[in-house]
Structure 1
Amino acid sequence: MTSTVPAAVLSAARAFGAAPALVQPGGDRLTYDELLGEVRRVARALIAAGLQPGDRLALWAPNSAHWVLAALGASYAGVTLVPVNTRFTGVEALDIITRSNARALVVTDVFLGVDRLAALTAAGPDPLPGLVVQVPSQWDAFLAGGDAVSDAEADARAAAVGANDLSDVLFTSGTTGRSRGVMSAHRQSLAVAAAWAGIAGLNPDDRYLVVNPFFNSFGLKAGILACLVSGAAIVPQAVFDVPRTMELIARERITVLPGPPTLYSSLMDHPDAGRFDLSSLRLAVTGAATVPPALVERMRKELGADVLTAYGLTEAVVATMCRAGDDARTVAETSGRAAAGFEVSIAEPGGEVLLRGPNTMLGYLDDPVATAAAIDADGWLHTGDIGRLDEHGYLTITDRLKDMYICGGFNVYPAEVERALARLPQVAESAVIGVADPRLGEVGKAYIVCRPGLDLGEAEVIEFCRGRLAGYKVPRSVELRAELPHNASGKVLKYLMRAEAADG
């Protein structure tokens, strides 16, 4: 197996040549031979712009062919990739770009009605990187800048990349609310990609619709890189839209479609579902929330696809996964067994899920204290999730040690939301919990204690958060309280609030 992303690009061109690699807007396709050529062009342009091996490129854009080419081109030039969540506000995105010390930025033009570059410019005093490329408007001019650099020079840069060199830094919020940059080496990113592709049975006949965001570890590694090592075709979708997704499945004869459980129920329940031929689907992979056995059976019957569940986190990407042939209850009630070389253990007392293996993150960027807290002296990664293993080694996640909840497949850390709420002058104290939602799984509910003589309305709180937090982090409801429940040390007893909300 190849051990660097540039080597994987070269290997894919040799092995899969004329097979389709990437479907672009409008249905145009790049073969794996052509993908190599385009990746080289990006690398040449980055070299011409002065980027050196080990420099970092931030990428703030939705799923697209440009995203794939920019990411792989950066790796080919020996540059470390720093994806940025497209749901972030300008303030949040600029924080990531600044802390990662990115020397280059590829940023989308207007997306979902927001001019992302303007949002960054307005976000604060921190300067933007020296190289800024807007896509698609400046893409061709950017590539033309690399005409003075030869293919041989780009290939030499690619050959110099080592298996242990830093491949990517993926930022994920910690339970304290501060985002942390998870560092992975090339060998690790490719190993988890190959493991996922192997269990999923990806091959050059597959057409993989990637709805999971590329900025997420799953979208990047179990999406782009998994296709690269298996020869499957990448079909990016920028925003999940049910009719558009069904149209893509039918037109492109999509065979593989991972996503949260709500994605599949949305497809099957849509009134136009009967208008589209979805029979090409062979595999659905889900997770991030409880999956009812009835949904698994329904997916298998109505979509005609095998269904697998998996468990992972940015620090490990894919840790466990079901296997083909597992029954509906196993798929629904467990997250599968160890994958990608991981060992899985349950810590006692407490039941925390621990992971150990060659693909555990290198550590958190510029944060040795947090790294030491996450990975103990014996190499076990402490996940913060509570679970159990059955006699066959299948993992069931039963709870969370921390307060994190999952909204529409995205992790939300209440401390980050509470930190934003603390900026409201009326707020004396706040607590945020996740409450059940039939569409998104969980949504945020904020409990607020106002300062004496001051008051707040729900709409005012929500609007305030919208200007400072990604949409999935914004509380959907607000309740004003005279006081919050505390223990003897002053910690808010959120389990009481969760129980009350569940009984509610």
Structure 2
Amino acid sequence: MITTPSVNSGTTVDINPATAIRGNAAYQPDGVVIRYDGGDLTYAQLEERAARLAAVLATRGITDGDRVAYLGLNSPSFLTTMFATFRLGAIFVPVNFRLTGPELQAVLHSSGATAIICEDGHRETLDRVRVQTSLRHFLLVDDDPEAPISTDATDPWELSSPLCTAVEPAAPPVRRGFDDPAILMFTSGTTGLPKGVVLTHGNIWWNGVNVDARLDTRRGDVTLAVAPLFHIGGLNALALRTILRGGTAVIHRSFEPNAALRDLIDYQVNSFFAVPAMLTALARVPGLFRTELPWLRSIVVAGAPVPPSLIESYAAHRITLQQAWGLTETAPFATHLPAEHTLTKIGSAGIPMPYTEVRVVDPATNTPVECGVSGEVVVRGPNVTPGYWNNDAATAAAFDENGWFHSGDIGYLDNDGYLFIVDRLKDMIISGGENIYPAEVERALADLPGLVDVAVVGAPDDKWGETVVAVVACAEGTQPSIEEIRAHASATLARYKLPRELKLVKSVPRNASGKLDKIAIRGLLHEDR
């Protein structure tokens, strides 16, 4: 006779990534987990660093559920901080290093983070806003040759490496289950206000299962991690999963096409996540298409519309790009185009991941539409966020009563069930893989002297996917240049959000209710193209 247990054994398994690092350090201590210009790390070294940093954070009161932020470029310190945070059961907050002071303050304040690990290059920006946050503990990265310190640390800053040397490594990682929050990753709303996407350990784990089931990834793989790790694609598409399975991540602080090609060859890279702009730049590197890369099995491209011509150019040289679609809220993949259909279904974002449901609904009625009919793409599955941090209204607006997450993207399913993304319900611009919200840019320009009205839209761009265009109406005798527009907006916006093009008009089109008529505004741009 078999007695049914009172608790499903599968729900009690420990899926804390810090536990996986500890296991890899025990069984392959000398295996290289990180390749980095500032120095490589083995699994044993990463485990010890994370354990010591966790001990430092613990002495400062960081515990289960607290938020720990990281501000800096791609580096071993980013990953060390994340695993140290997970070790304590705390929540990791990766911060976009491109944010300006007001944007940075908004994210940190919303997160409620009480500790931050920061690179010196971002200390000055943080110092200007830290009193407006909940931060109490400030650790400065001081052991990375790629991020040297320019001045001594002064109160409240502390150098991280002496603190880590002075403590004993922390106890083993706490157990984490599927519903425990792991990462708080911020993405702006359509109003430009930051929204914190809660990603649980289960969200991370299930995305990994989906990736393993669909892509040709293997234990011991080498992945190239040059997309920003503070983005869900850069972190959880391939990099984190590769590390947890005992592989190696080749990390660079930023993407440089020539260096990327050298890495693909020198380290025999097996997988690579990129946004289209990165692959466009890589294609311009002399010798790329004359190089044999037989070990490169999985190149996933997402984060922006993928031009079919880009896929075809790589395919002509026996390099297969695999398009995927998802959001921060889906951790990140909801769909993926299998490699064998790269050309037969070119332009498609693929089919639903094995453990994710995707359908297309009428935005007005929330009922499924027929194949070939465009509607809003909705997603449901264990990789989907449970909601937004301290934002019940946003969570309620994003999920329907049956648990479907409404993406805000417009697409259709063909007769074979392949998803094609057509447009966005929201007016978000995706430029070089970065999400840019027009309302935020419009507000930054609203007080420009002589400005009467302004609208911001995206326009197609061969290099970046989309580029930011400011459509401006000014008082008589006033005619700002694009340089003046950018200079004014740069006081409150990160550089990547600044308009690259300017369209001067007599009046900015608005509809009968006084709202910006974005369709008519985009039509004005077509006149110049």
TM-score, normalization by structure 2: 0.86
Distance 1:274 1:285 in 2: 18
Structure 2 contact 52–167 (Cα < 8 Å) conserved = no
* Closer/same/farther in 2, CA of residues 186 and 301 from structure 1, 3 Å limit: same
Which structure 1 residue ranges, 5 or more long, are not aligned? 111-115
More helix by share: 1
1:281: which partner in 2?
A: 296
Tell me, yes or no, if structure 1 residue 310 matches structure 2 residue 327. no
Match of 2:450 among 411, 426, 439: 426
Shift of 1:268: 2.5
Match of 2:491 among 445, 467, 475: 467
1:213: which partner in 2?
A: 228
Shift of 1:322: 1.6
Q: How does 1:259-278 map to 2 (within 5 A)?
A: 259-271=274-286, 273=288, 278=293
Shift of 1:70: 1.0
What is the one-letter code of the residue matched to 1:430?
V
Tell me, yes or no, if structure 1 residue 203 matches structure 2 residue 218. yes
Distance 1:71 1:124 in 2: 21
* Closer/same/farther in 2, CA of residues 451 and 57 from structure 1, 3 Å limit: farther
1:347: which partner in 2?
A: 361
Structure 1 contact 46–146 (Cα < 8 Å) conserved = no
Tell me, yes or no, if structure 1 residue 80 matches structure 2 residue 97. no
Structure 1 vs Structure 2 CA RMSD: 2.5
Identity %: 33
Q: How does 1:175-214 map to 2 (within 5 A)?
A: 175-214=190-229
1:113: which partner in 2?
A: none
Structure 1 contact 293–329 (Cα < 8 Å) conserved = no
Query: What CA deviation, in whole Å up to 9, does each residue of 1:306-339 have, x standing for no partner?
Result: 3211001011121111223224142x31111111
Match of 1:335 among 349, 362, 372: 349
Secondary structure in 2 matching 1:46: helix
* Closer/same/farther in 2, CA of residues 247 and 188 from structure 1, 3 Å limit: same
Secondary structure in 1 matching 2:339: coil
Distance 1:163 1:274 in 2: 43
Distance 1:41 1:124 in 2: 25
Distance 2:427 2:510 in 1: 15
Shift of 1:128: 6.7
What is the one-letter code of the residue matched to 1:348?
D
Query: What CA deviation, in whole Å up to 9, does each residue of 1:179-225 have, x standing for no partner?
Result: 10001111112221332244223223421111111100111212332
Match of 1:129 among 135, 138, 149: 135
Distance 1:241 1:299 in 2: 18
Shift of 1:227: 1.3
Structure 1 contact 254–280 (Cα < 8 Å) conserved = yes
* Closer/same/farther in 2, CA of residues 192 and 172 from structure 1, 3 Å limit: same
Shift of 1:97: 1.2
2:146: which partner in 1?
A: none
1:71: which partner in 2?
A: 82
1:249: which partner in 2?
A: 264
Query: What CA deviation, in whole Å up to 9, does each residue of 1:265-296 have, x standing for no partner?
Result: 32232236489775543321112344344432
Match of 1:154 among 166, 171, 175: 171
1:38: which partner in 2?
A: 49
Tell me, yes or no, if structure 1 residue 326 matches structure 2 residue 341. yes
Structure 1 contact 194–229 (Cα < 8 Å) conserved = no
Distance 1:503 1:12 in 2: 58
Shift of 1:261: 2.3
What is the one-letter code of the residue matched to 2:459?
V
Query: What CA deviation, in whole Å up to 9, does each residue of 1:23-63 have, x standing for no partner?
Result: 1325x433334332222122112112321221111111111
Tell me, yes or no, if structure 1 residue 3 matches structure 2 residue 15. yes
What is the one-letter code of the residue matched to 2:447?
R
Distance 2:83 2:51 in 1: 9
Secondary structure in 2 matching 1:195: helix
* Closer/same/farther in 2, CA of residues 124 and 68 from structure 1, 3 Å limit: closer
Match of 1:398 among 417, 422, 433: 422
Q: How does 1:230-249 map to 2 (within 5 A)?
A: 230-249=245-264
1:99: which partner in 2?
A: 110
Structure 2 contact 14–175 (Cα < 8 Å) conserved = no
Shift of 1:431: 0.5
Shift of 1:90: 2.5
Distance 1:185 1:122 in 2: 31
Distance 1:347 1:444 in 2: 29
Which structure 2 residue ranges, 5 or more long, are not aligned? 1-12, 143-148, 365-374
* Closer/same/farther in 2, CA of residues 190 and 144 from structure 1, 3 Å limit: farther
* Closer/same/farther in 2, CA of residues 385 and 39 from structure 1, 3 Å limit: same
Match of 1:145 among 163, 168, 171: 163
Structure 1 contact 59–82 (Cα < 8 Å) conserved = yes
Tell me, yes or no, if structure 1 residue 118 matches structure 2 residue 124. yes
Number of corresponding residues: 493
Match of 1:384 among 393, 405, 408: 408
Query: What CA deviation, in whole Å up to 9, does each residue of 1:48-102 have, x standing for no partner?
Result: 2321221111111111111111111111122211111122113211221122111
